[in-house]
Structure 1
């Protein structure tokens, strides 16, 4: 079984069930599966063969779903790319990923023209009509790549017969490029087995069924969305309410209109929903489950959100290299605030020391993972693969601890650890205290060089109004943290830098410090 076969099976058993709704348009599983078949045939007609690499430069839309599943069904390897990346970032991924075809929105064609001169290996540009007035007539103006262009609708309307290739479970289905927080992005190769098994296991773990309606607002090119609110609902025949982008108002409206039952987001999204003045808790009453991932959620935010909206948030953990989910708070046992939960079905997690030896409850070490969801390796990077996967275990680079009942807690990223006078300070611990302050909206802590102690803690804060001062924050922290953990200084920002999934970018904050010094 693989993801494309799972869609075929769902379409066979739930043909008239609504697969998704998008901007007022609803499509059944039968219609979705037929579109995927036609697109797969269109790719073959265009000369694409099993094993070829195809990139998707698309936002949240039916174009993405049909392109993804059509390419997987045709045996291609899919490389989702953030469409708002810079031309240099996109160019690196397309070149490093040996991409032969690109599916993109028509409004991105001018950028594609600039890229084309440096990427002669791309054989096809498949253009999705957005209806955006900015794209009117743009195809005719791109003379340099026009001979290689076909429209998305043209591929869907073709009459060629789809010839299904033989797909093995260990064939590479998707290459996900990491965010590149340390050096150039690395392409995590996920097999058909990786992708399908994680979707199946998380769907079972979270008890997703055909009765559910899932808000799909996380970016589809990101692995969190890809598995939890796209592939998993399709495996079970649930309905997806696709939103093009995150907006608190649009989320509340969508939940109310469609009586959605599951919402998945990153902590920043929950913060915006909580802070949204017009957010009526009764409009969230149909939600049976909230899912959080992508970054650690401050406990104070989790508790405040749950109290206001009367719904439990199940926090989990994952990474691109694990397809991504390894842990989630269980639904059949108590949820523990601040925990990422327990190992999901078929996946093992454990905490080890520098020698790879498992550590006892309460002790901090590196979290490592094993299971059918773990990648086959980094594309064209054997040394990095050998460093990440040892004896079948994926070393995550995250520091964690496990309690007596098997619940895991992420302490921090190994590389974000701050050492003050020989003492370890985990930025998340400082941030938890800051988030608990009633006048702080967002906060981040980083380590900066210090002449006396080697490093010191610097806090970045987004505050409510103008009243709160640096002195008040430091005094507040002294009441809740050991002296060496207290921020030495505080900088106020209008907002914290984040990636497209809403994860706070500590490295950007550190880079900002370097530039200013």
Structure 2
């Protein structure tokens, strides 16, 4: 790696590269269960699970997965909001030498079919509120593609509602967290109760997985519609877990508020795996609630909080913010959206906290860039992270552009994924050779300032960023085309004062169909896709502009929308 200006701002206490352990990810938990058996690993809804208890649950569930026929390299779906069962199931899948397929719990049955079929998943683990959608998705598939086993847990398997103070159960959460749901049926398969699985005390065989084995298969969408599986090895995630802890001064005495979802790459690697590696106590929030977050930070003496900026904005806007004791916080930061300067200034003036922004993708196992804690810049991606060589290149020629010029951000490092599952052509297209090294093409356009800090300026790929959730228009369009009254649809971004961007759909209705309203379309979308993908605005048009080859000119529509917003 050639010398870069950002080395001037590199934290003096840290090396520029890091050699991660060559052990599997599950071993981090096994080690800390021996080191800190009685230490709190997870705090959830007033209940605490120690490291020894967590590891015991992992071993027993891994044994049960083996009894179900799960073997080395098999893919197992995991669909849950943040809860102790997610952590236990995640590490149990790895302990069984299998591969975790984390699924967004907001997905509906129509979307879930792809996450069963594409990774050839035959086993899934879900909370009861999501199990019905999973069973519905599986039942709709041909017999040879269905799930064979579905493990279902209730949220209350992890805590005692009677012992929880009423103020710590937000009113909106009670219906879906406290209701004990019946187990669904599964066509051609078996449904298992989580508690019964753990009661069996089955033992898994010795692990054979190595550092380069596939460990995680999170899915990311793109310009072609259907989500693609990103192949991340134990070594990919291990590097970033270790580097994140070093960058953020994380120790076994740290307490992490887990408000970002652990099905997402940031929560999964940047928070969960990093925390387990360091022996941290994690305070889990199943969903965001600013009042509960403020109380948890105060009561649990939280030291580290990874988030998206909208969470911080929301917390500081609480009428009760003055009552919260945030003095324990020593590190706060995140990504997914830019942090407004006024909010960052308030954080620093009132609490002495610098908001540390970062940048990364599913393909890079979370961060590839991070702002130095001692010298951060606002609304900035940061500098290339530990062990990373990142450059800005001309997307056509692959040549590095001059400092300050705009180009595509490309990334080389030990955390970069091995490619897209079953998609060799997409894999080949997303890598570029520079100076004898393979660089991942991020699809994000940016530039580097005179001090070596990276900034995002545009997108080469078509994508909407709604409060940190990445919405891929082609995927939403593909789902909308299933509506019987929609002839054509084009999805674009519209400005949103709170979320940054929201989803807008321009729709051409089919002739000779019963009339539908904009709200009818929105309601149908809510039934058939994850909430963050649902268009906030639907606009009916007579026709969509097309190029000479017949392709919808989405960029022209996007530019017109941007002009109207301005």
TM-score using structure 2 length: 0.72
Please say if 1:117 is aligned against 2:152.
no
What is the CA–CA distance in structure 2 between the aligned matches of 1:104 and 1:90, rounded to whole Å? Answer: 12
1:9-48 maps to which residues of 2 (within 5 A)? 9-48=31-70
- Please say if residues 54 and 78 of structure 1, whose CA atoms lie closer than 8 Å, have aligned partners that are also in contact: yes
What is the CA–CA distance in structure 2 between the aligned matches of 1:513 and 1:147, rounded to whole Å? Answer: 43
- Please say if residues 248 and 273 of structure 1, whose CA atoms lie closer than 8 Å, have aligned partners that are also in contact: yes
What is the aligned partner in structure 2 of residue 400 from structure 1?
446
What is the aligned partner in structure 2 of residue 184 from structure 1?
226
- Please say if residues 113 and 144 of structure 1, whose CA atoms lie closer than 8 Å, have aligned partners that are also in contact: yes
Distance 1:100 1:304, change over 3 A: same
Offset, 1:281: 7.3
Gaps of 5+ in 2: 1-22, 157-176, 467-472, 474-491, 499-524, 544-566
1:63-462 maps to which residues of 2 (within 5 A)? 63-119=85-141, 120=143, 121-131=146-156, 132=177, 134-136=179-181, 138-139=182-183, 142-145=184-187, 148-180=190-222, 183-280=225-322, 283-331=325-373, 333-354=374-395, 355-391=397-433, 392-415=438-461, 460-462=495-497
- Please say if residues 215 and 229 of structure 1, whose CA atoms lie closer than 8 Å, have aligned partners that are also in contact: no
Offset, 1:504: 8.4
- Please say if residues 224 and 294 of structure 1, whose CA atoms lie closer than 8 Å, have aligned partners that are also in contact: no
What is the CA–CA distance in structure 2 between the aligned matches of 1:226 and 1:98, rounded to whole Å? Answer: 22
Offset, 1:182: 5.0
Cα RMSD (Å): 2.9
What is the CA–CA distance in structure 1 between the aligned matches of 2:179 and 2:357, rounded to whole Å? Answer: 40
What is the CA–CA distance in structure 1 between the aligned matches of 2:185 and 2:238, rounded to whole Å? Answer: 40
Distance 1:249 1:512, change over 3 A: same
What is the CA–CA distance in structure 2 between the aligned matches of 1:251 and 1:303, rounded to whole Å? Answer: 21
Distance 1:173 1:399, change over 3 A: same
What is the CA–CA distance in structure 2 between the aligned matches of 1:67 and 1:515, rounded to whole Å? Answer: 47
Offset, 1:145: 4.3
- Please say if residues 77 and 100 of structure 2, whose CA atoms lie closer than 8 Å, have aligned partners that are also in contact: yes
Larger relative contact order (CA 8 Å, sep ≥ 6): 2
Offset, 1:378: 0.6
- Please say if residues 55 and 102 of structure 1, whose CA atoms lie closer than 8 Å, have aligned partners that are also in contact: yes
What is the CA–CA distance in structure 2 between the aligned matches of 1:368 and 1:40, rounded to whole Å? Answer: 38
What do residues 303-362 of structure 1 show as CA deviations (whole Å, max 9, x unaligned)? Answer: 34433443111000010000011111112x311122222122112211111211122322
Q: Which moved more, 1:377-386 or 1:407-416?
A: 407-416
What do residues 250-297 of structure 1 show as CA deviations (whole Å, max 9, x unaligned)? Answer: 110000000101111112212212322221275212111111112333
Distance 1:144 1:85, change over 3 A: closer
What is the CA–CA distance in structure 1 between the aligned matches of 2:178 and 2:59, rounded to whole Å? Answer: 30
- Please say if residues 16 and 29 of structure 1, whose CA atoms lie closer than 8 Å, have aligned partners that are also in contact: yes
- Please say if residues 296 and 410 of structure 1, whose CA atoms lie closer than 8 Å, have aligned partners that are also in contact: no
What is the CA–CA distance in structure 1 between the aligned matches of 2:444 and 2:323, rounded to whole Å? Answer: 35
Distance 1:515 1:415, change over 3 A: farther
Gaps of 5+ in 1: 418-426, 432-445, 447-456, 464-496
The alignment covers a number of residue pairs equal to: 440
Offset, 1:143: 4.3
What do residues 193-245 of structure 1 show as CA deviations (whole Å, max 9, x unaligned)? Answer: 11111111111111111121000011110111111221111111111001111
Please say if 1:54 is aligned against 2:76.
yes
Distance 1:64 1:390, change over 3 A: same
Distance 1:82 1:257, change over 3 A: same
What is the CA–CA distance in structure 2 between the aligned matches of 1:181 and 1:299, rounded to whole Å? Answer: 32
SS of 1:284's equivalent in the other structure is: coil
What is the CA–CA distance in structure 2 between the aligned matches of 1:404 and 1:504, rounded to whole Å? Answer: 37
What is the aligned partner in structure 1 of residue 489 from structure 2?
none
- Please say if residues 37 and 51 of structure 2, whose CA atoms lie closer than 8 Å, have aligned partners that are also in contact: yes
1:487-506 maps to which residues of 2 (within 5 A)? none
- Please say if residues 264 and 292 of structure 1, whose CA atoms lie closer than 8 Å, have aligned partners that are also in contact: yes
- Please say if residues 281 and 309 of structure 1, whose CA atoms lie closer than 8 Å, have aligned partners that are also in contact: no
What is the CA–CA distance in structure 1 between the aligned matches of 2:246 and 2:531, rounded to whole Å? Answer: 27
SS of 2:218's equivalent in the other structure is: strand
Offset, 1:503: 12
What is the CA–CA distance in structure 1 between the aligned matches of 2:381 and 2:413, rounded to whole Å? Answer: 17
What is the CA–CA distance in structure 1 between the aligned matches of 2:258 and 2:34, rounded to whole Å? Answer: 23
- Please say if residues 35 and 156 of structure 1, whose CA atoms lie closer than 8 Å, have aligned partners that are also in contact: yes
